[in-house]
Chain A
Amino acid sequence: MIHKIIDKKDLCPGNYLIEVEASNVAQRFQPGQFVIIRIDEKGERIPLTVADFNTQKGTITLIFQVVGKSTKQLGILNVGDVVLDCVGPLGNPSEIKKFGRVICVGGGTGIACIYPLIRALADTGNEVISVIGARTASLLILENEITALGSRTCVATDDGSKGHHGFVTDVLMNLLDEYRNSGGVDRVIAIGPPVMMKAVADITKPRQIKTIVSLNSVMLDGTGMCGSCRVFIDGEMKLACIDGPEFDAHKVNFEDLISRLEMFKEKESEAINYYSSKAGVKK
């Protein structure tokens, strides 16, 4: 089964959106879940965030940032090109119910992951406050889409080119203070780079606010077969693919997560060098 790309957008430098035919995924997708794709016969299996899905059209919308060889190759594909494999939905859906006031923190491509969640939470009658951030204004994705969902949206950029000059965690801290005397915050959901998620957890833990994070550990099969995505929750080994990807942020061992994400770093640069040199030869 092949999956045709029917739409593609350059969101910002190095970030793409593609809409892909995958009716088997679209029929069942729920916010919080993910897919694994393989571009071609020699490709690796890469987990990707599903930002949107269309049950009628049988398509899913993937948003990704170019970080390695496979995402670089995927970024070069155009409308009409195909992806060999797309399996999912994988992982457990997010818990969506009326919590009350929820702050959703998204960083970088994590914004794509949290977007369907913000929508689902808002649709369920929650008061959702979105905090989204990026290194710089031009790298900020989905701001309009999230604002259009009608809830309060705060922006932070590392260089101050848009919104708050600093991190999403600064904004979060201010919001928690602001709401302290007006009913407080019932839940925080944070999706983004592990350091960001850890910083969010460090803020909400002493305040005893239930916080959920979505973990992006190294995955292979995504079905509980290999154990490469193992994470440690309250000292216990869990598999992000079938036990997660969402976990209670206050129980996650982020140091291990961050360390384990480095496992194939050297190999990744080797792969991208090989790919670039090969692509260079072709030109």
Chain B
Amino acid sequence: MIQIGGTRVVMEEQSVNERVKNFRSVPFGYNAEEAIAEAQRCIQCIHGPCEKLCPVHMDIKAMIREIVAGNFKKAFFIAKKDNAIPAITGRVCPQEEQCEGVCPFSLTCNGINIGKLEAFVADWAMNNGVKEGFHIEEKPEKVAVIGSGPAGISCAVDLRKYGYKVTMFEALHKAGGVLQYGIPAFRLPKDIVDYEISYLTEVGVEVKLNHIVGQNIMFNELRKKFGAVFIGTGAGAPQFLGIEGERLKGLYSANEFLFRTNLMKAYKFPEYDTPIVCGNTIGVIGAGNVAMDVARCAIRLGAKDVYILYRRTKKEAPARDEELQHAIEEKLKFIELVNPTRVLGNEDGWVTGIELLKMKLGEPDKSGRPRPIKIEGSEFTMKLDTVVEALGSKPNRLFLDQTPELETTRWGTFKVDENLMTNIEGVVAGGDAIRGNATVILALGDGRKAAESIHNYILRRRK
């Protein structure tokens, strides 16, 4: 029987007790029957607000129709048409703020579980060896893509489909950017990332790993050798509070903690070479998605007590609801309204604790959230073995320093026009490199728009 509205088909997950001991995916994903049942809840409303709010405007309704009909192959092609990495976005998009959040059902019951349906069709295609057939009409122009994260992937794939020769430059030893080093495997399994990224070589993108623009290839050289350049260098540089004690052993940036754990697989040490030292009691400063990722990695690395130290309250935490919920289920402890003033250490130079100042909430600030106000003299200390600063990251200086000719904002992001063109014609930028800390799907949207912008630029130049 077709169910109108009703409740979501439950997504089976690893039990809390089990999952805190491994880095495997928390949700199991829908099977075919479950996917069809969830898809049947969709009433195919005329306006399709889900599609309008999707940064890449996927044909969500059409994808769902094909799932209902059991036509998974067709559903996959529909998803893939607008989104180069549906298995990834299906898992990491903030759907509750986008497609699922505007689903008419979200008012009365849960919106259609669009993310998990998207992941289902992508996984189905992967498991059944179904690949999109495409024909590329080769064009003579060459385009360079700097960075192999979500923005770069989407831009490179679209540029290939326009027919351009694309060379992608990645500084690290693996392509994928934040998908590889940032997002932990229990949220985004790495075999899925590897599979989605193999699409790049499939469409004929030349991927050059271990190539740092500005170190072994100069930016000016790229501009000479290539008809256009896309900058998708992300926001990979960590921020530190600048408080006393940051020299101590046992203090990490979130980037370092996640880089070791995810990309270098420190959770498999000593089978894998890269170590991580994670104590029994760990404090994570910040309450965004990255902070939750760090906290949940720490639990899996064996930490007994994991604290989130946040200067506002849980209600204002920037992390996605799902991440926050998962973290709380995993026994993470939330300490609200505190601001770190110094990190404490012993004579051997190891972290032993943190000094925190109590805060209270004041009037809303520019972000609309209440401003945290210091309560003078309210300092107290907490014993900790490990401290991780998850304060958000900013664009990498290494690249910025090499490109003084490119205009930037005061946050170090590149200034672009409505077509994502920088102040230099033919140099286009997108993703976190222009947005600071944003999402995978916004980066994909930028990559797509950038490819179109480059295409138009090249056509103009031909005349």
Task: For B259, give the chain A residue with the smallest CB separation.
Answer: A226
Q: Does A87 contact B (CB under 8 A)?
A: yes
* C-alpha spacing A271/B276, complex, angstroms: 12
Bound CA span A84–B172, Å:
12
Query: Cβ of A228 and Cβ of B252 under 8 Å apart?
Result: yes
Q: Are A220 and B215 in contact (CB under 8 A)?
A: no
**Once bound together, how far apart are the Cα atoms of A256 and B256, in whole Å?**
18
Q: Is the CB of A89 within 8 A of B216?
A: yes
Contact A226 B255 (CB under 8 A): yes
Beta-carbon contacts under 8 Å, A213-252 to B: 220-221, 223-228, 230, 232, 237, 242
- Is A24's CB within 8 Å of the partner chain B? yes
Contact A271 B270 (CB under 8 A): yes
A32 to chain B, nearest CB (A): 13
Q: Is B210 an interface residue (CB 8 A)?
A: yes
Closest-by-CB residue of A relative to B258 is A226
A25, B216: Cβ atoms under 8 Å? Answer: yes
Q: CB of A253 within 8 A of chain B?
A: yes
Considering the complex, give the chain B residue whose CB is closest to the CB of A23. Answer: B216
Q: Is A165 on the interface with B (CB-CB < 8 A)?
A: no
Find chain B residues with CB under 8 A from A228 CB. Answer: 252, 256
Does chain B have a CB within 8 A of A143?
A: no
**B397 interface contact, C-beta 8 A:** yes
When A85-B173, A88-B216 are in contact, do A267 and B275 touch as well, CB less than 8 Å?
A: yes
Total CB contacts across the A-B interface at under 8 A: 127
A256 touches B264 (CB 8 A): no
Let me know if B195 is at the binding interface, CB within 8 A: no
Contact status B275-A262, CB under 8 Å: no
Q: Is A159 an interface residue (CB 8 A)?
A: no
Q: Which of B82-119 contact A (CB under 8 A)?
A: none
Q: Contact mask B199-210 → A, CB, 8 Å, 1/0? A: 000000000111
Instruction: Identify the interface centre among A88, A89, A259: most chain B CB within 10 Å of its CB.
Output: A259
In contact, A44 and B264 (Cβ under 8 angstroms) = yes
Residues on B with beta carbons closer than 8 Å to the beta carbon of A266: 277
B264 touches A270 (CB 8 A): no
Q: Which residues of B contact A242 (CB under 8 A)?
A: 397-398
Is A57 an interface residue when CB atoms closer than 8 A count as contact?
Answer: no
* B-chain residues with CB within 8 Å of residue A27 when the two chains form the complex: 216
Indicate if the CB atoms of B240 and A237 lie closer than 8 Å: yes
Tell me, yes or no, whether A90 is within 8 Å of chain B by CB.
yes
- Nearest residue in B to A266 (C-beta to C-beta)? B277
If the complex has contacts A267-B275, A270-B270, A271-B275, are A224 and B210 also in contact, measured as CB distance less than 8 A?
A: no
B273 touches A225 (CB 8 A): no
Residues of A contacting B260 with CB < 8 Å?
Answer: 220
Please state if A87 and B242 are interface contacts (CB–CB under 8 Å): no
Any A CB within 8 A of the CB of B349: yes
Residues 148-183 of chain B, each 1 if its beta carbon lies under 8 Å from chain A, else 0: 000000000000000000000001110000000100
Contact assessment for A223 and B273 in the assembled complex, using a CB-CB cutoff below 8 Å: no
Output the least CB separation between B381 and chain A (Å): 21
Residue numbers in A under 8 Å from B211 (CB-CB): 24, 87
Q: Does A210 contact B (CB under 8 A)?
A: no
Pairwise interchain contact A232-B247, C-beta atoms closer than 8 A? yes
Give Cα distance in the complex from A41 to B273, angstroms.
10
Given contacts A42-B272, A271-B275, contact A262 B349 (CB under 8 A): yes
| Chain A 31-63 interface 0/1 with B at a Cβ cutoff of 8 Å (1 = within) | 000000010001111000000000000000000
Please, how many angstroms separate the alpha-carbon atoms of A140 and B250 in the complex? 35
| Given known contacts A87-B210, A224-B237, A259 and B270 CB-to-CB distance under 8 angstroms | no
A118 to B179, CA, bound (A): 43
A179 within 8 A of partner (CB) = no
Q: Which residue of A lies closest to B255 (CB)?
A: A226
Interface residue? B249 (CB, 8 A): yes
Known contacts A45-B264, A271-B269; is-contact A253 B247 (Cβ 8 Å): yes
**Is the Cβ of B210 less than 8 Å from the Cβ of A1?**
yes
**A101 interface hit (Cβ, 8 Å):** no
Identity of the chain A residue whose Cβ is nearest the Cβ of B173 in the assembled complex: A85
Q: Is A260 in contact with chain B by the CB < 8 A criterion?
A: yes
Chain A min CB distance to B233 (Å): 10
> Which residue of B173, B277, B397 contacts A263 across the interface (Cβ within 8 Å)?
B277
Number of B residues with CB within 8 Å of any CB on chain A = 42
Query: Could you tell me the distance between the alpha carbons of A221 and B271 in the complex, rounded to whole angstroms?
Result: 20
Asked if B348 CB lies within 8 Å of chain A CBs, one says yes
Separation of A42 and B264 alpha carbons in the complex (Å):
8
Instruction: Please state if B349 and A260 are interface contacts (CB–CB under 8 Å).
Output: yes
List the A side residues contacting B256 at CB < 8 Å.
220, 226-228
A70 within 8 A of B: yes
CB of B193 closer than 8 Å to a CB of A:
no
B236 contacts chain A at the CB level, 8 A cutoff: yes
Q: Are A24 and B216 in contact (CB under 8 A)?
A: yes
Binary contact readout A6-41 vs B (1 if CB under 8 angstroms, 0 otherwise): 000000000000000000110110000000001000
Q: Does B246 contact A (CB under 8 A)?
A: yes
Residues of chain A lying within 8 A (CB to CB) of residue B272: 42, 44
Question: Counting CB contacts under 8 A, is A198 at the interface?
Answer: no
Q: Which residues of B contact A85 (CB under 8 A)?
A: 173, 209-210
Asked whether any CB of chain A lies closer than 8 Å to the CB of B48, the reply is no
Q: Is the CB of B255 within 8 A of A28?
A: no
With contacts A225-B237, A228-B256 known, is A263 near B249, CB below 8 A? Answer: yes
Q: In the assembled complex, which residues on chain B have CB atoms less than 8 Å from the CB atom of A42?
A: 265, 271-273
Is B172 a contact of A221 with CB atoms below 8 Å? yes
Select one of B171, B215, B247, B265 contacting A256, CB under 8 A: B247
A228 to B260, CA, bound (A): 11
* Closest A residue to B347 using CB positions: A259
Chain A residues in 8 Å Cβ range of B210: 1, 24, 85-87
Distance A270 CA – B250 CA, assembled complex (angstroms)? 18
Alpha-carbon distance A128/B44, docked complex (angstroms): 79
Chain A residues with CB under 8 A of B173: 38, 45, 84-85, 87
Q: Which single residue of chain A is at the shortest CB-CB distance from B264?
A: A44
Interface string of A250-283 (1 = CB under 8 A from B): 0001001001101110111011001100000000
Identify the closest chain B residue to A272 (Cβ).
B270
A220–B259 CB distance below 8 A: yes
Q: How far is the CB of B256 from chain A (nearest CB, A)?
A: 4
Q: List 8 A-B contacts (CB under 8 A).
A: A1-B209, A25-B216, A87-B171, A90-B212, A220-B259, A226-B253, A267-B270, A275-B270
Q: Which 3 A-B pairs have the closest CB atoms?
A: A267-B275, A259-B349, A44-B273
Given A43-B273, A87-B210, A220-B264, 17 additional A-B pairs, CB 8 A: A28-B215, A38-B173, A42-B273, A44-B264, A44-B274, A87-B172, A87-B211, A89-B215, A223-B172, A224-B236, A225-B236, A226-B256, A242-B398, A256-B247, A262-B349, A271-B270, A274-B270
